[in-house]
Structure 1
Amino acid sequence: MKWPFFQHPEPEVARYLAGTPRRLSRNTPFSELSFLVLDAETTGFNLSTDRLLSVAAMPVRHGRAEAGGLRSWLFHQPDVAITAATRIHTILPSDSVGGTPERQVLQELLPAATGALIVGHHIGFDIGMLNAAMRRHFHTPLRNRTLDTALLSMRVLDAFRRTGYSNQRPPGLDEVCAHLGLSIWERHTADGDTFATAQIFLLLCARLRRKLGRDLVLGDLPFN
């Protein structure tokens, strides 16, 4: 069952829905926008059967990353198995047993997401996993607009510009960081990848601002 935001029985969800508009003016100045940079680690890549293991989020406001606001959660997933993904993020079943229940993590994450534009590298998958969890617990998906820094890099950086070939893939986080001369702190952790993505986002926005010769507005950025 789905509820309008003013009838949703969960107060955290009701406040989130009320404070997160579906549309914003394309002319909204960049300086007036609130962003939440986000990254998730999961048991695998199947939106139906895999589960969230960790998530991190960091606010970006007034053109600055609020590193002190970086927060991360480890999910309690007692039935998680060791998979190929484990070799990448190194989150073991014994780690997951001591985590926070999925429902509680979502309740704590929603205030940070309220009214924000969500930014991430290949963010579509992360949002897909979060939406699956939101539907399991609250019967509603996230409603934030999203920006993929991989796609933004293809718009801003000549090295990754679209070529017209159908098999061209968006660049990975490591590729973009290497091109920009950034090192990734704790790669393949939600915290480290979130911090790196925030740096990429702000650098790309600065380059786009110089390219356009004016301050950015929402319509300059490839949000979904």
Structure 2
Amino acid sequence: MLDWLKINKEYPEFWKNYLHKFEYKSKRFVVFSTETSGLDIHKDVILSVGAIGIEDEKIIVKDSFDITILQDNFNPEIAIKHGILNTSEEKISEAEAISLFVNYLGNATLIGHRINFDIEMINQVLEKVQAGKLKNEALDIEIMYQKWQQLPEEKQFSMDELATTFKISKSDRHTASGDAYITALIFLKLKQRLKL
């Protein structure tokens, strides 16, 4: 009975459009990062999302996504850490942001650093708007690095450590779009070394 309810559930239009994109496999990668109010997927919220596309081993700068979400409660400490200030900078609602982001993603393979956290944060918002969970395949640069170096999974590496390893500038860290770009550079280096 419960399965029947899920199948016939009336999803938002943006979600139906997203699901139709999985009729074919994409060669596009989307590297993304979220800036959040904390690390608890049940209590914390997404402040901003940044993403950039990769095709044919190249970062496509014009294929980027950068959005700041309107917050009900403004926390100056969190805002300063992430560079998100309570200014006239355009911010949109969480529901509008998730619709735009899912449309941007399409059926691309997702790339991130500890990407499961970012995906879970996105899925929490999708649940609020009565959509399903992301269907995209995902790759994590930390796991790719562990595989390349033949290290155990419990050995963790921060994004700063990975950037340093590959001599990548960390000048735009702690912004969603900056972290996405740094992650994209690391991903391309690891993809080449792993011959993916």
1:182 aligns to what? 168
Give yes or no for the alignment of 1:195 onto 2:184.
Answer: no
Runs of at least 5 residues in structure 2 that lack an aligned partner in the other structure: none
Q: Judging changes above 3 Å, is the alpha-carbon distance between structure 1 residues 185 and 8 closer, same or farther for their aligned structure 2 residues?
A: farther
Give yes or no for the alignment of 1:117 onto 2:109.
Answer: yes
1:15 aligns to what? 17
2:56 aligns to what? 62
| C-alpha deviation, 1:9, in angstroms | 4.0
Q: Distance in 2 between matches of 1:63 and 1:169?
A: 28
- Taking only the aligned residue pairs, the percentage that are identical comes to 25
| C-alpha deviation, 1:98, in angstroms | 5.0
Runs of at least 5 residues in structure 1 that lack an aligned partner in the other structure: 25-31, 210-215, 217-224
Q: Which amino acid aligns with 2:136?
A: N
Q: Distance in 2 between matches of 1:207 and 1:181?
A: 15
TM-score between both structures, scaled by the size of structure 2: 0.87
- Output the aligned Cα RMSD: 2.5
Maintained 8 Å contact 1:53/1:96: no
Secondary structure at the aligned position of 2:51 is classed as strand
Q: Which amino acid aligns with 1:114?
A: G
Q: Distance in 2 between matches of 1:61 and 1:8?
A: 34
Give yes or no for the alignment of 1:136 onto 2:128.
Answer: yes
Q: Distance in 2 between matches of 1:189 and 1:118?
A: 18
Maintained 8 Å contact 2:52/2:64: yes
Q: Within 5 A, what are the aligned runs for 1:63-212?
A: 63-83=57-77, 85-86=78-79, 88-92=81-85, 94-95=86-87, 98-156=90-148, 158=149, 161-163=150-152, 168-209=154-195
| C-alpha deviation, 1:138, in angstroms | 2.5
TM-score between both structures, scaled by the size of structure 1: 0.77
Q: Judging changes above 3 Å, is the alpha-carbon distance between structure 1 residues 68 and 137 closer, same or farther for their aligned structure 2 residues?
A: same
Secondary structure at the aligned position of 1:68 is classed as strand
| C-alpha deviation, 1:82, in angstroms | 4.1
| C-alpha deviation, 1:7, in angstroms | 6.3
| C-alpha deviation, 1:97, in angstroms | 8.7
| C-alpha deviation, 1:163, in angstroms | 4.6
Secondary structure at the aligned position of 2:173 is classed as coil
Higher share in strand: 2
1:27 aligns to what? none
Q: Which amino acid aligns with 1:91?
A: I
Cα deviation 1:70-120 (Å, max 9, x = unaligned): 22000011224345x44531324x249951101111111112211111100
Which structure 1 residue ranges, 4+ long, deviate > 6 Å from structure 2?
Answer: none
Count of residue correspondences:
193
